Amino acid sequence: MRREIRAEPYRIKMVEPMTLPSRERRVARMVEAGYNPFSLRSRDVYIDLLTDSGTGAMSDLQWAALLSGDESYAGSDSFYRLEQAVQAVMGFRHVIPTHQGRGAENVLLSTLMPEGGKLVPNNMHFDTTKAHVLHKRGEPVDLPVPVAYSPSVRQDFKGNMDSEALESLLSRRRADVPLIIMTLTCNSGGGQPVSMANLREVSQIAGRYGVPFFLDACRFAENAYFIKEREPGYAACSIGQIVREMMSYADGCTMSAKKDALVNIGGFLATNDPALYRQATVWAVLFEGFPTYGGLAGRDMEAMAQGLYEVIDEEYLADRIGQVAYLAERVRLAGAPIVEPPGGHAVYIDAGALLPHLKPYEFPGWAMSVALYIEGGVRAVEIGTVLAGRKAGTGEHDHPRLELLRLAVPRRVYTHRHMDAVGDAVAAVVEKKRQLPGLFFTYEAPVLRHFTARFGTLQEWPG
Ligand SMILES: Cc1ncc(COP(=O)(O)O)c(C=O)c1O
């Protein structure tokens, strides 16, 4: 029987020209950038897989929605359209727009942990969440299931929280835990999904101990798609039904709309708790703006509202997750080991395993990011020692368990042929893997060093 080919479920109405700079130019740009891909200008990048955050393409209906933006300071129609979209798609009653996800984290944590010294459990904190907990003088506690740290083991829901570890923590330290957060999908763990069963279980534990339970919902629709595909009992449900059930287990969520609301900027805090909402609006006014605009233009809220309806479309999600899986297959064929199975928004190459001749303090993930740009003009991001920074007490590198290179795929931006080009670039890096040198810092900022660092190479870069 003839196989039915499913191509991208959209056609392209507008194009943005780009080009692959010559190898000579790529080497020169990388040297000028101090071997730091963050310091490259985007015009020198061919395929940009630095992040999937705020880099997606909006639909024609989202662009059209911009024109109906109501730019009133207070009570704009655009806010009410956003509120309605969050109520319809997620089921939360109260909504506070914020300039992006970390704005929502700041408002939520300012509300729930005003006086510091508290423990915040999460399946795995994303950097901004961790930074906000630390900023509030709290302690972020990662409680992933143990298999999250085994990159080659294929399991369906490696983003789950270790519910026994959570129960044990609460039984000993309930008074020190102001909230529980679950990150969907689990970005720091490889974009791995959380199962409905795990959400239900964590929600029950939170309920038993009377602890507020919030979702970091950045990639909620991708998580829902994995539940439909992998979890018994959900194959016949629509994505909309699955999303509403997921959200029903939580007291609210923080959201970076730059991911699964399909916009380039924006976020929100949503909750069902009217008292928490009232308290949060106080902080929102201070940090973000009046509670009906929260640092956003009316037109931004219009595009977000439309994006929330579009992202739960199953055909869109099948294409999105399918494209990441396609890239994963190309990377495997190129001979690079990846975190298995691939997650929803990115492929994570196990650079530590690919480049065993480089010690963690020679930054294998970073060396691979430099090589990928030089070989194919592809920009990706290290998730390893450089990103992790130094330990507060000793000043030593805070080596993570894995040295990874993340290839994050922007939404609706690149085609499968672009993914083929990335696969070829990875193959070219794999061919030279034994010659790739380690790196050392020539400049290192005291915080968030990866953004501005400069490096030297321990040997000459291979030609
Ligand atoms: C899981 C997760 N939480 C929070 C954030 C922060 O969102 P934003 O960049 O919009 O502040 C991100 C962004 O990448 C994320 O991936």
Q: pLDDT of 256-296, one tens digit each?
A: 999 999 999 999 999 999 999 999 999 999 999 999 999 99
User: What pLDDT was estimated at residue 188?
Assistant: 84
Does the beta carbon of 283 lie inside 6 Å of ligand 1? Answer: no
Q: Are residues 302 and 318 in the same domain?
A: no
If you measure from the C-alpha of residue 101 to the centroid of ligand 1, how many angstroms do you get, rounded to a whole number? Answer: 5
Single-letter code of the amino acid located at 252? G
For residue 13, being part of any structural domain is answered with no
Residues 283 and 367 in one domain: no
What range does the domain containing 84 cover? 60-311
Which residue has tokens 């300012």?
Answer: 110
Cis peptide bond prior to 452, omega within 30° of 0 = no
Distances (CA, A) of 36 to 27, 40, 317, 449: 12, 7, 33, 11
Q: Look at the chain and report how many structural domains it folds into.
A: 2
Give the full edge-to-edge strand order of the sheet including 346-350. Answer: 346-350, 404-408, 381-383
Q: Are residues 277 and 368 in the same domain?
A: no
Residue 256 CA to ligand 1 centre (angstroms): 6
State if residue 183 touches ligand 1 by the CB under 6 angstroms criterion.
yes
Residue 254 Cβ < 6 Å to ligand 1: no
Residues 379 and 429 in one domain: yes
d(CA 220, CA 234): 16
Residue 15 included in any domain: no
CA pair distance 74, 141, nearest whole angstrom? 38
Same domain, 304 and 326: no
Q: Which residues contact 376 (CB under 8 A, 6 or more apart)?
A: 20, 46, 47, 421, 422, 424, 425, 426, 428, 429
- Domain of 173: which CATH number? 3.40.640.10
Tokens matching residue 148 = 């999250």
Looking at the structure, tell me whether residues 295 and 332 fall in a common domain: no
Condensed to tens digits (0 to 9), the pLDDT of residues 386-418 reads 998 888 788 899 898 889 999 999 999 999 999
Residues above pLDDT 90, as percent of the chain: 90
Q: Report the chain's mean pLDDT, rounded to a whole number.
A: 95
Ligand 1 centre distance from Cα of residue 461 (Å): 34
Q: What is the mean pLDDT of residues 305-312?
A: 98
Boundary-marking domain end, from 290, 311, 332: 311
> What tens digit of pLDDT does each residue of 18-28 get?
999 999 999 99
User: Looking at the domain assignment, is residue 403 inside a domain?
Assistant: yes
- Mapping DSSP to helix (H, G, I), strand (E, B) and coil, where does residue 291 land? coil
219 lines ligand 1 (CB under 6 A): no
What is the chain's alpha carbon radius of gyration, rounded to the nearest angstrom? 22
Check pLDDT > 70 for residue 304: yes
Pair (115, 227) in one structural domain: yes
Lookup result for tokens 């969050």: 86
Contact status, residue 237 vs residue 228, Cβ threshold 8 Å: yes
Residue 155 CA to residue 168 CA, distance in Å, equals: 24
How many angstroms separate the alpha carbon of residue 281 from the centre of ligand 1? 21
Torsion of CA 15, 303, 301, 88, to 10 degrees: -150
Of the three residues 268, 291, 311, the one that is the final residue of a domain is 311
104-142 per-position pLDDT tens digit: 999 999 999 988 789 999 999 998 898 899 889 999 999
- Ligand 1 neighbourhood includes 55 CB (under 6 angstroms): no
Assigned domain for 1 exists:
no
In short, whether 295's Cβ falls inside 6 Å of ligand 1 is: no
Closest CA to 206 of 251, 247, 243: 251
For the domain that residue 408 is a member of, what is the CATH number? 3.90.1150.10
Question: pTM of the prediction?
Answer: 0.95
CA dihedral 409, 411, 412, 413 (to 10 degrees): -50
Are 125 and 169 contained in the same domain? Answer: yes
Question: How much is the pLDDT for 1?
Answer: 63
Question: Of 311, 338, 358, which residue constitutes the final position of a domain?
Answer: 311
Average pLDDT of span 376-386: 96
The residue whose CB lies within 8 Å of the most ligand 1 atoms, and thus the one to mutate among 53, 98, 300, is 53
Do 196 and 304 lie in a common domain? yes
Determine how β-strand 404-408 pairs with β-strand 346-350. antiparallel
Q: What is the pLDDT of residue 9?
A: 92
Least confident window among 148-152, 363-367, 451-455: 148-152
Average confidence (pLDDT) over 299-307: 98
Beta-strand relationship, 252-256 and 267-271: antiparallel
**Low-confidence winner among 15-19, 111-115, 308-312, 366-370 (lowest mean pLDDT):** 111-115
